[in-house]
């Protein structure tokens, strides 16, 4: 299958116009010593029917959240994606366009991103959002770079209850940026006592945290500010219908995994990196930002703005190297948040809280199953202590049709993190409880 439209006559005519006899002449400047003197060692091309058959086979070899009832979370969640989201974000004028370098032909993407930024500000209670980053983990790395721009402040304190994949990402990015994240311990799965000295740039807290527990974020951020550091919150956008938003908790920078905003699980990507800050930090913000302006006739329109922060202008002095971001996922998030509105966001949050509480109650009725952190307040996710290794229990429950959660290294591998979205029905929850009871019997 090929998409180049040239007929043999076209090729001849075009070569003649260029003044050449054959296609090989177009490549004569490549030194013979580096030319590949054989075909690529790949199969010959195939038809659309054949590629579909091949890839349907691969897809069928997965047991997805359509085959297993999904209680897995730990950073990616099976929330419902309404039909309208991808009916619109999937329009080809959006998905086949490039970064809006010619704003007159890109008002659709630009305005959608302006609306996205607006909605992220409304959600978080912060003043500025950018137009997206790659995902939650890399958004945190960017937030740390922002915080470390403060003179004399290099150190980064991270709560032990922040998702370990995020901390691993900080370790990796820190090798280049010149820091090692310092993990401060928590008690009973939350809190902790970060020592914020004069060289600390940022204190990072995830709320709700990696165990699903609600953190005393206000106090932790107060400690950060008392030491002159920026407070960075990793948040769950869908918790903000029911939980106090980062801005009101006095976070300076809030980052999130935006997958939950209308994006599919996609085996981990493409997701959406959300970042919001205070207005004071707008010139330190990484990535694209869309601003409203007017055209020569005074008509309102949208452009990429504050580009002097960005790599294509500022080169090595840029606030980030990001160029391609996750615009399409941000557009999906915008449509999704329009679908939810304030009422839907609050209702969805209440559903998550209620269903997670009900699930925890049902599962802890099973002999030997206990909450890992008894009495800890949570949103949509909670950790259990199982009487057997959690990966074994999970695998047995897969055979019974459930993706029961994500095993944690805590409690000698006996801990299981269970996530319950608004999608899970009472019947599914009861069935999980029944299956787990049998598996552990």
- Binding to another protein, residues 41-80 (CB under 8 A): 41-46, 48, 51-52, 54-66, 68, 70, 72-76, 78
Binding mask of the shown chain, residues 175 to 214, with x at each position contacting another protein by CB under 8 A = xxxx-----------------------------------x
Which of 225, 227, 228, 306 is close enough to bind another protein by CB under 8 A? 306
307: tokens are 């580009």
The residue among 181 and 194 lying less far from another protein, judged by its C-beta, is 181
118 binds another protein (CB under 8 A): yes
Shortest separation between residue 200's beta carbon and another protein, angstroms: 20
Which uninterrupted H or E stretch holds 140? helix 136-147
Among 150, 225, 227, 282, binds another protein (CB under 8 A): 282
* Contact stretch for another protein (CB under 8 A) within 34-42, 148-156, 180-188, 363-371: 34-42
Query: In angstroms, what is the minimal distance from the CB of 32 to another protein?
Result: 10
Angle at 137 between CA 169 and CA 321, to 5 degrees: 80
323 sits near another protein (criterion: CB under 8 A): yes
Q: What would the two tokens of residue 190 be? A: 């939350």
Bridge-partner residues for 318, per DSSP? Answer: none
Residues 6+ apart with CB under 8 A from 307: 313
Task: Name the residue nearer to another protein (CB basis): 17 or 226.
Answer: 17
CB of 224 to another protein, least distance (A): 19
Using the contact rule CB under 8 A, the part of the chain among 151-159, 227-235, 314-322, 431-439 near another protein is 314-322
By beta-carbon proximity to another protein, the closer residue of 5 and 228 is: 5
- Pick from 21, 149, 172, 374 the residue near another protein by CB under 8 A: 172
Tokens at 118, concatenated: 């607006």
Nearest to 291 by CA among 299, 280, 302: 302
Per-residue burial over 112-128, b if 16 or more Cβ lie within 10 Å, else e, is bbbbbbebbbebbbbeb
- Name which of 192 and 245 has its Cβ closer to another protein: 245
Q: Which is nearer to another protein, 224 or 320 (CB)?
A: 320
388 binding another protein? (CB under 8 A): no
Distances (CA, A) of 337 to 151, 343, 431: 38, 11, 31
Least spacing, CB of residue 86 vs another protein, in Å: 8
Token pair belonging to 334: 């915008």
Query: CB neighbours (10 Å) of residue 148?
Result: 19
Residue 238 near residue 345 (C-beta atoms within 8 A): yes
d(CA 416, CA 384) in angstroms, rounded, equals 5
Give the residue with the Cβ less far from another protein, 175 or 197: 175
CA-closest candidate to residue 420, choices 73, 65, 66:
73
Task: Report how many residues bind another protein under the rule CB under 8 A.
Answer: 207
- Considering the rule CB under 8 A, would residue 333 count as an interface residue with another protein? no
Return the residues of window 242-261 that contact another protein according to CB under 8 A. Answer: 242-245, 248, 257
């Amino acid at each position: 299958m090929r998409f180049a439209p040239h007929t043999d006559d076209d090729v001849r005519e075009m070569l003649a116009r260029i003044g050449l006899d054959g296609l090989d002449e177009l490549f004569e400047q490549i030194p013979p010593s580096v030319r590949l003197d054989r075909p690529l060692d790949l199969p010959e091309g195939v038809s659309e029917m054949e590629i579909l058959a091949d890839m349907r086979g691969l897809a069928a070899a997965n047991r997805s959240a359509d085959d297993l009832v999904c209680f897995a979370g730990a950073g990616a969640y099976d929330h419902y994606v309404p039909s309208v989201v991808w009916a619109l974000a999937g329009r080809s004028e959006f998905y086949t366009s490039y970064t809006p370098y010619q704003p007159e032909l890109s008002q659709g993407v630009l305005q959608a991103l302006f609306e996205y930024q607006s909605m992220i500000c409304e959600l978080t209670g912060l003043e500025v959002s950018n137009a997206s980053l790659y995902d939650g983990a890399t958004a945190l790395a960017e937030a740390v770079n922002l915080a470390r721009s403060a003179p004399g402040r290099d150190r980064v304190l991270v709560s032990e209850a922040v998702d370990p994949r995020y901390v691993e990402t900080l370790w990796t990015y820190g090798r280049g940026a010149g820091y090692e994240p310092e993990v401060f311990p928590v008690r009973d799965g939350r809190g902790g006592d970060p020592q914020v000295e004069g060289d600390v740039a940022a204190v990072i807290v995830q709320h709700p945290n990696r165990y699903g527990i609600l953190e005393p974020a206000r106090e932790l951020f107060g400690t950060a500010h008392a030491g002159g550091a920026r407070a960075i919150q990793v948040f769950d956008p869908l918790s903000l219908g029911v939980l106090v938003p980062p801005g009101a908790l006095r976070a300076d920078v809030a980052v999130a995994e935006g997958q939950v905003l209308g994006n599919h699980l996609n085996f981990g990507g493409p997701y959406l990196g959300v970042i919001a800050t205070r207005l004071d930090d707008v010139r330190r913000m990484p990535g694209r930002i869309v601003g409203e302006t007017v055209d020569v006739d005074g008509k309102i329109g949208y452009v990429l703005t504050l580009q002097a922060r960005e790599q294509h202008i500022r080169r090595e002095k840029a606030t980030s190297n990001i160029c391609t971001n996750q615009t399409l996922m941000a557009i999906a998030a915008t449509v999704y948040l329009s679908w939810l509105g304030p009422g839907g966001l609050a209702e969805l949050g209440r559903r998550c809280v209620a269903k997670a509480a009900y699930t925890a109650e049902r599962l802890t009725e099973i002999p030997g199953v206990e909450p890992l952190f008894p009495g800890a307040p949570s949103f949509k996710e909670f950790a259990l202590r199982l009487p057997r290794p959690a990966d074994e229990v999970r695998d047995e429950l897969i055979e019974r049709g459930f993706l029961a959660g994500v095993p944690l290294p805590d409690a000698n591998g006996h801990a299981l993190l269970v996530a319950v979205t608004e999608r899970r029905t009472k019947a599914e929850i009861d069935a999980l409880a029944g299956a787990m009871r049998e598996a552990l019997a």
